[in-house]
Chains A and B, each alone.
Chain A
Amino acid sequence: MAVKTRKTRQSKPIPSHFPNIDQVGIEERVARLNSRSIKKDSKVKALKLALSMIDLTTLEGKDTEGKVRQLCYKALHLHDSLPKLPHVAAVCVYNSMVGIAKETLAGSDIKVASVATAFPSGMSTLKVKLQETKFAIGQGADEVDMVISRGKFLAGEYNYVTDEIAAIKEACGKVHLKVILETGELNTLDNVRKASDLAIFAGADFIKTSTGKIQPAATMPVTLVMLEAIRDHYYLTGKKIGMKPAGGISKAKQAIQYLVMVKETLGNAWLNNNLFRFGASSLANDIIMQIIKQETGRYHSKDYISID
């Protein structure tokens, strides 16, 4: 397997040049996009779209089978008194909970995503990470969220990082691989771009901002840089890579701002849950409250919505 990885590299050397990111420009662009006003019908549409893109997530040491079952039940029944509400894209859990989630979601088309590769730190050997990935897939995971080795990345060992992603991708086979860059630990937007390019080069189906365990998690400038990496890759190869900001997106308004950014950077083709996801837990409730507000004209209360 390791041999195969090396072969890939021989046929196509890993990128050695990465575009520099103009931080001020990125921030200005984000601020400009955030000034868009999305109202009424378009707002409802955007909210429902955002809802269908959510990876409902629970990644805590205190997770229990009951908690995961409850989360899956929530994924299936977001708010039954509102008919025609889309359901979320996936639930995202630790690999030991994949079986439970799979069982609870049986019969629905909600996917089960599992984190793997010594999440959240990624501090382990490739062998262990591969084992973990295979275990998650064996349990029935439809998607795998891996973390990159940030320590190695920051030490400049890009070959190691790239090979590792490629190896995990190979272990995944047809299972979707999301690569978490953990941008909160990468320090600069230049690094974010570098890591994005490497992950895409190594075979990521999705690139994802954060684990949610490090602050800052997903931010709009970071997401914009990653979206641009996806765009440049698309122009070069015609291949569409997905994007998943995760962590810190808890308000409907933020979600709409992200959608505007995706549309303006990548276009309509990315506005679906095959190519864009939100990693969040409390976002769904806020979106539901906003949808109810649009329907009834009254501001709503969390008292009438399932708990996170």
Chain B
Amino acid sequence: MKTKTKIASRKSQIPRVLVNLPEASDERLDLDKRIKVLKTYKIYIDGKFPRSESGRYYKLKDSKGNHITNMSRASRKDFRNAVVAARNAVSSWSDRTGFNRGQIIYRIAEMLETRKAQFIWELVSQGISRENSVNEVNTAIDRLVYYAGWADKYQQIFSSVNPVNASYFNFSVPEPTGVVGIIAPEEFSFIGLISNIIPAILGGNTCVVLASESMPLTAISFAEVLQSSDVPAGVVNILTGFEKELVSHFSGHMDVNAIIYTRNDPAQIKAIQISATSNLKRIHIRKDQNWMSPESQNPYIILDNQEIKTIWHPIGF
């Protein structure tokens, strides 16, 4: 009895955080008198977390209109820098074996699993119900594992040996397109982001991503996961900011080889289609998609950003 009291009294002296490491969402934290250390959400370019070069930001509010945090409002120059980083990363990333890319994507899943609570908390604070948030994060991790498995398989499945009427050995293989610009979904801010980034980089591409404008928190936290998962700098670059300001640069930049647009604005879609002809970008419009559904994960999405290269190899007799 005596011992018990002793323990109890000691416990009350220890700061609460140490007694029971809370989830990030734990409201008991608010009882603490100390000033909270808030995270500055910055953008992710070339493996680093700079603020926007423009110094601009926008206020992020939750569904009740409370000010959650300030997000960097990326400028066209941030986008340009991101494309330079992505371009530089293409050759070494695409030269890696599919097996190795698969290992790295599995590693992302591992890292995400350990930081689940943070992602759930971020989704909740952006107005998603707790149940849906848990669901979304779990699905995202499973999807990463799913795609990791495809990394060393898609190439042989989509390759072919072609019969030709001449003395050639003729075969076709998928090769990465290069730099992919991704306008991530506004809704499904996390699972939608992952479902578009992963198939692109899995196939040896690098990407520049514009995160959801109203729910960008998980995108930047995901960048932290990427940074600690052996994903080389420049392979994924994530910007936060306004679609209407940046999308014309995504579609117009001559060094971007493909663009994925996942939102629903018909005027924007048309503008992208016109602008992307400048260097014949591959355009993928993925609108009205339920990113939670299992149908949103399949190897054909990897193929979207692959180019089929056919080789005619002479056969000597």
Contact = CB atoms under 8 A, between A and B. Distances in A.
A299 B83 contact: yes
Interface in B212-247: none
Contacts of B255: 299-303
A287 B258 CA distance: 25
B253 interface: yes
Nearest to B76: A299
Contacts of B87: 301-302
A110 B87 CA distance: 33
Contact of B249 (A299, A300, A301, A302): A299
A301 B80 contact: no
A299 B79 CA distance: 10
Interface string B245-275: 0000100111100000000000000000000
A301 B90 CA distance: 14
A304 interface: yes
A297 B254 CA distance: 11
- A contact patch SS: loop
Residue among B80, B83, B87, B255 with the highest chain A CB neighbour number at 10 A: B255
B279 A299 contact: no
A62 interface: no
- B contact patch SS: helix
A39 interface: no
Contacts of A298: 252-254, 278
A59 B249 CA distance: 38
A300 B87 CA distance: 12
Interface in A262-308: 297-304
Contacts of B278: 298
A301 B255 CA distance: 4
Nearest to A297: B252
Contacts of B279: 301, 303
Contacts of A303: 254-255, 279
B75 to A, nearest CB: 13
Nearest to A300: B254
Residue among B80, B252, B254, B278 with the highest chain A CB neighbour number at 10 A: B254
Nearest to B253: A299
Contacts of A304: 254
A248 to B, nearest CB: 17
B177 to A, nearest CB: 12
A284 to B, nearest CB: 18
Contacts of B253: 298-299, 301
B165 to A, nearest CB: 34
A31 B279 CA distance: 38
Contacts of A300: 254-255
B208 to A, nearest CB: 12
Contacts of B83: 299
Interface of A: 297-304
23 contacts: A298-B252, A298-B253, A298-B254, A298-B278, A299-B80, A299-B83, A299-B249, A299-B252, A299-B253, A299-B254, A299-B255, A300-B254, A300-B255, A301-B87, A301-B253, A301-B254, A301-B255, A301-B279, A302-B87, A303-B254, A303-B255, A303-B279, A304-B254
**CB-based closest 9 A-B pairs:** A301-B255, A301-B254, A299-B253, A298-B252, A300-B254, A299-B80, A298-B254, A298-B278, A299-B254
Given A298-B278, A300-B255, A303-B255, 19 more contacts: A297-B252, A298-B252, A298-B253, A299-B80, A299-B83, A299-B249, A299-B252, A299-B253, A299-B254, A300-B254, A301-B253, A301-B254, A301-B255, A301-B279, A302-B87, A302-B255, A303-B254, A303-B279, A304-B254
